[in-house]
Structure 1
């Protein structure tokens, strides 16, 4: 979710009341502000430091990659969310290694140690493809928040992976905008006006982003074994989205948790165990 300082949020709420068009334009600029990169948490430092680092280039930006475990083993790709970084998966990395798997992750554009000033789901998808081409193939992909949205859309676009785990997924562009407006205190009545403005001014002149960045309309293929994890107390990726994703992917499994919120769900031992079990389970038989 875009980083918006408290004074900016207060200003947006005031503008929304007296000058809605100006509030929309200012909010659209704030929407792209990533803010300073997240630091590596002390609890994640040891895992972060022992990774084998590399890099790929995506649209002129340097994206830093990380690899753990035996490079000859089946490998899982981990995709972080907004204002996060690869090291945030440290607990899952350790458990996947213990299960005999290799692990690859990366810091998205404008995140962690990578270069850049802004990132959308489309840039995250481009990074996923570049990392796959450089470090793949992957047997599974695990995404969190915006990373789950980008990973799911990449699978819909043909990323050749057999298993997918979505943790606290954003369902699409409109869901991201809804959460952004709610968290900065702007009225829901400005939602469509805000979305239309961002779509018209989307970097690179990309068209139809509202329909293109939509994991319900462009679901994960049924052939991909899919686990969806959603916490009932998530204020970023609202719980109402998970059933929509579940219904869009026949055969998917929905795991619901409570009291973990948007980020702590990544650290929960039961969630980590469920993710490892999913990516190591035999694939179901496919009927010709």
Structure 2
């Protein structure tokens, strides 16, 4: 077994031992390991020309300094939300097309991603950050990739945003429990640690792990939803979007094949733009 595969197992055994004597400490340690962002950071001297053009103000939110971007246009406003261990540069292909069509484009780097501050990423903090964009600007469309899509669902469950017409999720999880279960399978920590982790999550977020689900959040969301998912997504199975579609009565499931989890190909972008153009005023 190579070192890269051994390190998570060492963490898992470490948590198992701590949980025998200090379960609360084990829960907090597990959460920190889970939430630690290891990829997706940017430095100001690494920015592409596109990101430099859109570089906007810093938003102060829950102890984080959040980097925002804007490419001004005369058309409807679109807010782009990237996923885990990514940054706003993941939208470069879509931004280029939307700029040509004069959309007013907004994006942010999530906490601990891109040019935003922090080391740890918690979904409610992400939602709190783009909540400020939604309150300041008349956003018409939201597009969230992976965890960015789940953050959309969380935000719209807790706050109404009547200016928003459409929400597009791309390869997004429906159940937080799926993500945490994958985390457990990688580290191979025991259920004593999982119980402690669940307690810490509930204390910090107000939900138990199995309660944190877009299937619940969508009950209060009147907007149209378009759930993009690749049939062979190896990171987040398509069953997650299928489940959300079942519960979200104003949603449409849109599937692709062979594009993987990223969904940044020309065919996907063409479909996104077509949906936005349908409601362009």
Alignment TM-score, normalising by the size of structure 2: 0.84
> What corresponds to 2:166 in structure 1?
163
The match for 1:282 is 279
| 77, 80, 94: which one aligns with 2:79 | 77
CA distance in structure 2 between the partners assigned to 1:52 and 1:39 by the alignment:
13
Change over 3 Å in CA distance of 1:45–1:240 after alignment to 2: same
Distance 1:106 1:142, change over 3 A: same
Q: Identify which of 162, 176, 196 aligns with 2:179.
A: 176
**Per-residue displacement from partner, 1:123-155 (whole Å, max 9, x unpaired)?**
111011022223x11000000111000012222
Displacement of 1:32 in angstroms is: 1.9
**Could you say if the C-alpha distance between residues 37 and 204 of structure 1 is closer, same or farther in structure 2, counting changes exceeding 3 Å?**
farther
Deviation string for 1:70-123 (max 9, x for gaps)?
Answer: 2x4311000111111111111111111222211100011111101122121111
Q: How big is the shift at 1:220?
A: 6.1
* 1:286 counterpart residue number: none
Q: Which stretches in structure 1 are left out of the alignment for 5+ residues?
A: 284-288
**What pairs with 1:16-55 in structure 2 (closer than 5 Å)?**
21=19, 25=27, 27-39=30-42, 45-55=48-58
Ranges in structure 2 where 5+ consecutive residues have no aligned partner: none
Distance in 1 between the 2:203 and 2:66 partners?
19
Could you tell me whether the CA contact under 8 Å between 2:202 and 2:208 is conserved in 1?
no
- Aligned partners of 1:227, 1:46: CA distance in 2, in Å? 30
Deviations along 1:156-182, whole A, 9 cap, x unmatched?
222331101000111132122123234
Give the count of matched residue pairs. Answer: 268
Q: Give the equivalent residue in structure 2 for 1:92.
A: 94
Higher helix share: 2
1:128 matched to which residue of 2?
A: 130
For the residue of structure 2 that corresponds to 1:208, the secondary structure is coil
Aligned to 1:242: 241
Moved more, 30-39 or 163-172: 30-39
Contact 1:143 1:165 in 2 (8 A): yes
Q: Deviations over 1:157-208 (max 9, x none)?
A: 22331101000111132122123234x2527x74xx5553223224973322
- Match of 2:110? 108
